Structure 1
Amino acid sequence: MRTVPTGPPARHRRSASLTNWAEEDRIRCQELTGKDDTMNDARTIDAHTNQLAPRAITPEALVEIEQRVLWLATSMIHHANRVRPNPTGLKVGGHQASCASMVSIMTSLWFEQLRPGDRVSVKPHASPVLHGINYLLGALDEKYLTTLREFGGLQSYPSRAKDPDPVDYSTGSVGIGATAPIWGAIARRYVNTQIGSAGTGRQYSLVGDAELDEGAVWEAILDTSVAELGEIVWIVDLNRQSLDRVVPNIAAGRLEAMFSAAGWQVLTVKFGTLLESLFTRAGGPSLRTRILDMPNPEYQRLLRCGAEELRRRLPGDGPDAAAITSLIGELDDATLLRAIRNLGGHDLDALRAAYARIDDTRPTVIIAYTIKGHGLPTQGHPQNHSSLLTVEQYKQLAAELGMDPAHPWARFAADSVPGQVCRATAETLTRKKVELATPPAVPADIGRTPSGTSTTQAALGRALLDLSRQAPDAAKRVVTVSPDVSSTTNLAGWLNKVGVWSPNERRNWFDDDAETIMHWREKPTGQHMELGIAETNLVGLMGELGATWSRWGQPLFPIGVMYDPFVERALEPWSYGIYAGGQSILVGTPSGVTLAAEGGAHQSIKTPSIGLEQPGCVSFEPAFAIDTEWTLLDSISRLGRPDGSSSYLRLSTRPVDQTLAAVPTDPAARERRRRQVVAGAYTLRRTERPVVTLVGMGAVITETLAAADRLAEQGIAADVVCVTSAGLLFEAVQARRGLAEGPSWVLDQVFPAGRAAPMVTVLDGHPHTLAFLTGINQVAGTALGVSRFGQVGSLDEVYRYHGIDTDSIVRAALDLTD
């Protein structure tokens, strides 16, 4: 006969002495099976070495910590939405249910598994759980607990740059934070093989199951280089819910097969100890099959049932219904309700067992079944993603957990067992202070003056080779990355010189082939990395290579090269890497409608304005080879330092007569030109009294100069200005107006008020990129550029179609000066 408990509703009832269902489940499991499978020797297994670790923790203490973490995370969100004044009425938000599904996983990870060298990327919506753990470990001041999503306070999602407590990876943009530890693992291995001192450790990603819908996740998982990274561990929070619903067809078996096919170890944690004990009893196999076979929405509906309704629904109407009815008839209501919620992702013993099985020879994914909102009144509700506990529900939760809602931020007493565990864990996880190495000096000028006909794209490879000869210490920090386009972006010479990076040396079977021009020598000392054709992977790796200065104190100079039309595809993860502190150089080449024969599909239009608008980034679009060298060296000098920044170089394959650059031969004049180039613009031609100013950028400088010549033949004097960075000029304009900080001297030198004249701006990109320049001296102007999808054709035909040819520039100048 089953027994019916008295007292509070069973769904919320806690044992007065244990305060947690998990502990009651352990006891009930022991009663049902006659044995206790939990760890009672108060020791943990160090999953890195399979040796007994010094961090001792009792099951009871871990349960108390788990509950306190749930309370703190829930309270932070509650305070931000229900307590803190909100005069604007704008939604604050937060994700109590998403936090709750991660509490057991993160408690087990932090307090039993992590070591100082490990790094963790936390599921964005679980940021309050991270802050709660950091608070218990003494790494976050209490004053911040009331500042979630407040200006200057705890960020909405984990942020390395903006949160006041330790955060290993910035997350928040779907898929990007999940994959970051993969690239972090490669970056650490690279530092260790090239420089040393980055240490070792696992790279964990805590991932929501809905995040696996993001294609960038699978691009990373499937990359062939990832299968060798044994330090990678993903933990998938399989709660089967998205923003609006229970996802009907999430198939864990399919996910397991996909990870396994990519060479990952797959560990699935489905059920907890209580359910597993029931499966061993008469009718248990039928119950297991019933739970596994039912659709996700049906299971989620069971979580919303009371005991009586659950007894009617759970057996179903299949041939095994009677056996299931008999089995659950032996359980009291409280045990039955706990059993249906006893999934592996909330069972500390099941999680511990999964960690112990990690073999560290290949990437591992732990698929942990969880309940969204576990332990909260909203658990399992299909619309609980952003729902908040009411004030009454919050008070009810406080009563269940033995907390005071009026004073929610209590830590454990220092002499209590949980308090001692927190202190010991904090000591264990303490990392040595990172000493920042000073980046080696980067020369400002190699000293060579290009001649003949060349392209800015070709200048990139030559500049890197020159750097390796002129400044080997700086060149040693350069690491180039490309998505299978090394030869077509002129990196072959550099690659032949420095080799391809690989954790282990591999034989190059084409070394003795005389017709092989680019030699693919893979070795631990190589300085080039090549991923598959996946731009998101490329910039993700760039972001982590560009963060080594802050993680391990060793600066690198990462330079990623891709086709400029694909910069937009890579922009979000690259931008997110900059936000997270990664400093790198992105080179887009070839670019623009200058790719005439490639047609509209491969002609980039918006990238110049992207460079202008991207925070934390300096953009350059050089016109000549010498400009490329100077801007590249300047960009490298900005990397690997607390006040550093990223850069974007937009290069072209258009051959240009290098004598048109008219590089000064006098050393002082040459240096003045260089300073102007890296400040954003320089005067290429200056007349005695200009009637019009022609401003060109990048590949169309040839047409700009030709237009000036033709205007001169008509008696119209035209100054010619070559812009190298629209972004730097815009910042100078803002600084002059008191709207930003920074130098504005380049405006006085290149656009002096005394020479103000009507202005024509032209570039191979959207015309608005340079349109603001007329405002420097308040002159009339015409902005020429590309604002339509491209067309295939010859260069002359394509330029004429978009109105950026010489004739169009001359017409625009005549219209302004008539």
Structure 2
Amino acid sequence: MTAVHLTQLDTIRAVEQRVLWLSTAIVDHANRVRPNTTGVKVGGHQASSASITSIMTALWFEHLRPQDRVSVKPHASPVLHAIEYLLGLLDDEQMTTLRAYKGLQSYPSRTKDPVPADYSTGSVGIGATAPIWGALSRRFVGGHFAEQPLGRQYSLVGDAELDEGACWEAILDPMVARLGEIVWIVDFNRQSLDRVVPVLGEDRMRALFTAAGWQVITVKYGAALEELFTRPGGAALRDRIDTMTNAEYQRLLRHTPDKLRTLLPGTDSSITALLDGLDDDQLTTAFRSLGGHDHAALRQAFEAIDDTRPTVIIAYTVKGHGLPTAGHPQNHSALLSQAQFEELATRCGTSASQPWQRFEPGTAEHELCERTADRLRRDPVPAAEPLAVPTDLGRTPSGTATTQSALGRTLLDLNRAAPAVGARVVTVSPDVSSSTNLGGWVNKVGIWSTIEGVDWFADDAETILHWRERPTGQHIELGIAETNLVGLLGELGATWSRWGQPLLPIGVLYDPFVTRALEPWSFGIYAGGQSILVGTPSGVTLAPEGGAHQSIITPSIGIEQPGCTTWEPAFALDTEWCLLAALGQLGRPGGSSAYLRLSTRPVDQRLAAVPTDPAARERRRRHVVAGGYPLRRAKGTPTATIVTMGALVPETLQAAERLAGVGADTDVICLTSPDLLFRAVQARRGRGEAPTWILDSLFPADRAAPLVTVLDGHPHTLAFLAGLTKRGAIHLGVTEFGQSGDLDSVYRAHGIDTDSIITAALDVSS
């Protein structure tokens, strides 16, 4: 290696030491220095940060480009902030705010950190896979609208994070093998939160990545060990270290040099002779010389990346590298003692009393930081022009229809009525396109693919769904992996802020599987992704499918999910209006995601009684998108008010007619969004901001009456409405797993049939 290269390596090692110090000091200050009146543990991860400090220093200060994006493992946020500080992006005061209110976040965040992270991380596996979906989103935007710079998409992950199945669901998706910009760097420290990982795992990991079509680069040993391996006894030493268990290696890390000399050779005298030629410092340094901490080895690995396919770099590291806690199995959340902290300051050439120090101007380290800051400076993202989504497409459905079929119909009508908006729609599903009525849309817009595909069934007259794969397609089909679907959905929903190109992403999956997809979708919303999730078919209304495919708790989940509006329309036109309103909230500052719960139950559309007068129709539409509308009013003071939504509107109207026949005339309110009504109730009480006019329109004071609520879902979803009428209430819904059966039998079993509604109305009003 030339003298120039050695000088460069010395400089970057010095920067690494400062990054190690700053990341450790950030956590120390949050726990020891900043006042903590509650006594609740602040937390932080000095050891987890230390294991990846070498890798992140090498990446940022030598290899990263402005067009690249990086997802940083959650517990390494202090390292990210330390680098941001050295690049002049954070000031001294901000370095004291880790885990403080509105300060540096516990985990990297796109939306809450003062320097927005490229990807939010924190939920295991989701941040790791996000760059895959970010790469697909960038390619989709570039192929349809404005070409984007083809930067690498890095994921920095701990090896224990690969226990999360979401990682492998993403890695194994066939589309991913075509994404040469994907680079994962595994911080292979062989520790998890509680323990040393019992199985070495690299061979298995290598085989899995290779089978998925990835390039695998292993960075195992550093220069000091590699040099020892060339000496007499070196081959035996390599074999000894290669074959020892993780736990044995970690234990040897904690021994004194004398004990290490005794235990490391085992029974091999050639290793003993080799170690006898080393002093204590040489021995300790060499045994800890792993590739993930060796800048020459890391540089070689980065330079070997093949950009024609995804790459994983497995970098062997020591958890807590450079700290007194290095290698200890319980070091995950361990905090250095004051004495250890001061010793680290001395070793890193800084001060425990003045921890926030950049390099002095004129030094090689300062110049490297300056060059890196200049190199990584990005142009501001142009503001995206909000899309003018129509609010009404002008059709009035007739006959019998389902809300599920209205989804595909609306997308096709939108494409015709507003082609510029329709071009921004991208649908995603996990192998359920045909069964969720997206077939017509898919036939119209085609399947998106990075390459042109051959439709081998194009000449088959019996083929109804045409699978035309092309770069201009607007539907993305994933395998049966809901986590992949919503991961992609979140990134498609972030293109407006990443590249100034808004998309209107709609993910469609079976409603029972919303709960499986909820956490990653929620995390995507947290990270700024705006999208629409459609759950269909839903509820026990899917009677013949049985309990395994009947969703119960999803209506209340929609209310509880931040950053999201939930709708459950009853009629096709309601579905159109709600979908258009949801699309109008996407791809803009202050926008919102949405969840639509749809049904396969055919309903007579005449029951909607859509006004024919244009002004009255618009009034109805405003009510629909605000949360609900009166579907039936009693002639006088109502005996009861029945509130219903979705598939149970026919039973509710039948019950109202029969009640009127026995002298118990009722109001019927068709709810489209319990979510929006709950917000209105909260706003009326001064808890948040939301329009409250809808409450007065649906529940006027002069018509206050006992309440019956009924829905195909858990009854507590609508229980909050009892506080509006204050006249007593009965809440009907589904509280048990369902059974297969015909619709009448299943509704009767759960007490949501017509007779049950009548009984409840008479009981509550007696």
User: Aligning the two structures, in what range does the TM-score lie when normalised by the shorter sequence?
Assistant: over 0.9
Does the residue aligned with 2:191 lie in a helix, a strand or coil? coil
User: Is 1:125 matched up with 2:75?
Assistant: yes
Match of 2:205 among 246, 251, 255: 255
Name the residue aligned to 1:369.
316
Alignment RMSD: 0.9
Match of 2:626 among 679, 684, 691: 679
Does the residue aligned with 2:691 lie in a helix, a strand or coil? coil
Does the residue aligned with 1:421 lie in a helix, a strand or coil? helix
User: Is 1:308 matched up with 2:258?
Assistant: yes
Does the residue aligned with 1:643 lie in a helix, a strand or coil? coil
Pairwise CA distance, 1:323 = 0.6
Q: Percent identity?
A: 68
CA deviations 1:588-617 (Å, max 9, x no partner) are 000000010011011000000000100000
Match of 2:591 among 633, 644, 649: 644
The one-letter amino acid of 2:168's match is W
Name the residue aligned to 2:409.
462
Match of 2:718 among 757, 764, 770: 770
Name the residue aligned to 2:247.
297
Match of 2:673 among 725, 741, 748: 725
CA deviations 1:650-692 (Å, max 9, x no partner) are 0000000000000001111100100000000100011222111
Q: Structure 2 CA distance, aligned partners of 1:724 and 1:285?
A: 72
Pairwise CA distance, 1:762 = 0.3
Pairwise CA distance, 1:399 = 1.1
Name the residue aligned to 1:784.
732
CA contact (8 A) 1:134 1:166 kept: no
Does the residue aligned with 1:776 lie in a helix, a strand or coil? helix
Name the residue aligned to 1:174.
124
Pairwise CA distance, 1:42 = 5.0
The one-letter amino acid of 2:55's match is I
The one-letter amino acid of 1:304's match is R
CA contact (8 A) 1:139 1:166 kept: no
Pairwise CA distance, 1:707 = 0.4
Name the residue aligned to 1:816.
764
CA contact (8 A) 1:40 1:59 kept: no
Q: Structure 2 CA distance, aligned partners of 1:468 and 1:145?
A: 50
Name the residue aligned to 1:490.
437
Pairwise CA distance, 1:198 = 2.5
Q: Structure 1 CA distance, aligned partners of 2:741 and 2:188?
A: 52
The one-letter amino acid of 1:188's match is R
**1:522-671 paired onto structure 2 within 5 Å:** 522-671=469-618
Q: Structure 2 CA distance, aligned partners of 1:755 and 1:303?
A: 76
The one-letter amino acid of 1:357's match is A
Name the residue aligned to 2:365.
418
Q: Structure 2 CA distance, aligned partners of 1:225 and 1:81?
A: 44
Name the residue aligned to 1:693.
641
The one-letter amino acid of 2:652's match is T
Match of 1:91 among 41, 45, 48: 41
CA contact (8 A) 1:197 1:552 kept: no
Match of 1:101 among 51, 54, 57: 51
The one-letter amino acid of 1:97's match is A
Q: 241-250 or 641-650, which moves further after superposition? A: 241-250
Name the residue aligned to 1:506.
453
Match of 1:758 among 687, 706, 723: 706
Pairwise CA distance, 1:515 = 0.8
**Structure 2 segments unaligned to the other structure (5+ residues):** none
4+ aligned runs moved over 3 Å, structure 1: 39-43
**1:43-192 paired onto structure 2 within 5 Å:** 58-192=8-142
Match of 1:439 among 366, 386, 405: 386
Does the residue aligned with 2:422 lie in a helix, a strand or coil? helix
Q: Structure 1 CA distance, aligned partners of 2:92 and 2:577?
A: 49
Q: Structure 2 CA distance, aligned partners of 1:118 and 1:754?
A: 62
Q: Structure 1 CA distance, aligned partners of 2:183 and 2:176?
A: 12
CA contact (8 A) 2:176 2:310 kept: yes
Q: Structure 2 CA distance, aligned partners of 1:132 and 1:166?
A: 14
The one-letter amino acid of 1:152's match is K
Q: Structure 2 CA distance, aligned partners of 1:622 and 1:407?
A: 60
Q: Structure 2 CA distance, aligned partners of 1:142 and 1:212?
A: 35
CA deviations 1:508-562 (Å, max 9, x no partner) are 1111111111111111110000000000000000000000011001000000000
Name the residue aligned to 2:347.
400
Q: Structure 1 CA distance, aligned partners of 2:231 and 2:260?
A: 19
Q: Structure 1 CA distance, aligned partners of 2:88 and 2:498?
A: 21
CA deviations 1:434-462 (Å, max 9, x no partner) are 01221321000001000000000000000
Q: Structure 2 CA distance, aligned partners of 1:345 and 1:630?
A: 55
**Structure 1 segments unaligned to the other structure (5+ residues):** 1-36, 44-56
Pairwise CA distance, 1:414 = 2.3
Name the residue aligned to 1:200.
150
Does the residue aligned with 2:39 lie in a helix, a strand or coil? coil
The one-letter amino acid of 1:476's match is A
CA deviations 1:331-370 (Å, max 9, x no partner) are 1110100001000000011000001110101100000000
Match of 1:476 among 423, 429, 445: 423
Q: Structure 1 CA distance, aligned partners of 2:469 and 2:200?
A: 40
Pairwise CA distance, 1:40 = 4.0
CA deviations 1:293-335 (Å, max 9, x no partner) are 0111110011111111110011012xxx101001111111101
Name the residue aligned to 1:34.
none
Q: Structure 1 CA distance, aligned partners of 2:95 and 2:244?
A: 41
Q: Structure 1 CA distance, aligned partners of 2:4 and 2:124?
A: 41
Q: Structure 1 CA distance, aligned partners of 2:148 and 2:650?
A: 48
Match of 1:340 among 277, 282, 287: 287
CA deviations 1:203-245 (Å, max 9, x no partner) are 0000001001001110001111100000000000110111111
Q: Structure 2 CA distance, aligned partners of 1:592 and 1:606?
A: 9
Match of 1:806 among 733, 754, 760: 754
Name the residue aligned to 1:286.
236
Pairwise CA distance, 1:143 = 1.2
CA deviations 1:378-437 (Å, max 9, x no partner) are 000010001000011101111111111000000111221111111111110011100122
Pairwise CA distance, 1:41 = 3.6
Q: Structure 2 CA distance, aligned partners of 1:249 and 1:192?
A: 42
CA deviations 1:85-130 (Å, max 9, x no partner) are 1111101110000000000000000000100000000000000000
CA contact (8 A) 2:707 2:725 kept: no
Q: Structure 2 CA distance, aligned partners of 1:40 and 1:437?
A: 49
The one-letter amino acid of 1:578's match is I
Q: Normalising by structure 1, report the TM-score.
A: 0.93
Pairwise CA distance, 1:777 = 2.7
Does the residue aligned with 1:479 lie in a helix, a strand or coil? strand
Match of 2:695 among 747, 753, 765: 747
CA contact (8 A) 2:384 2:497 kept: no
The one-letter amino acid of 1:370's match is T
Q: Structure 1 CA distance, aligned partners of 2:642 and 2:73?
A: 51
Q: Structure 1 CA distance, aligned partners of 2:30 and 2:201?
A: 36
Does the residue aligned with 2:644 lie in a helix, a strand or coil? strand
Q: Structure 1 CA distance, aligned partners of 2:328 and 2:124?
A: 23
Q: Normalising by structure 2, report the TM-score.
A: 0.99
**1:231-246 paired onto structure 2 within 5 Å:** 231-246=181-196
The one-letter amino acid of 1:548's match is T
Name the residue aligned to 1:228.
178
Q: Structure 1 CA distance, aligned partners of 2:177 and 2:426?
A: 21
Name the residue aligned to 1:264.
214
The one-letter amino acid of 1:761's match is T
Q: Structure 1 CA distance, aligned partners of 2:715 and 2:398?
A: 30
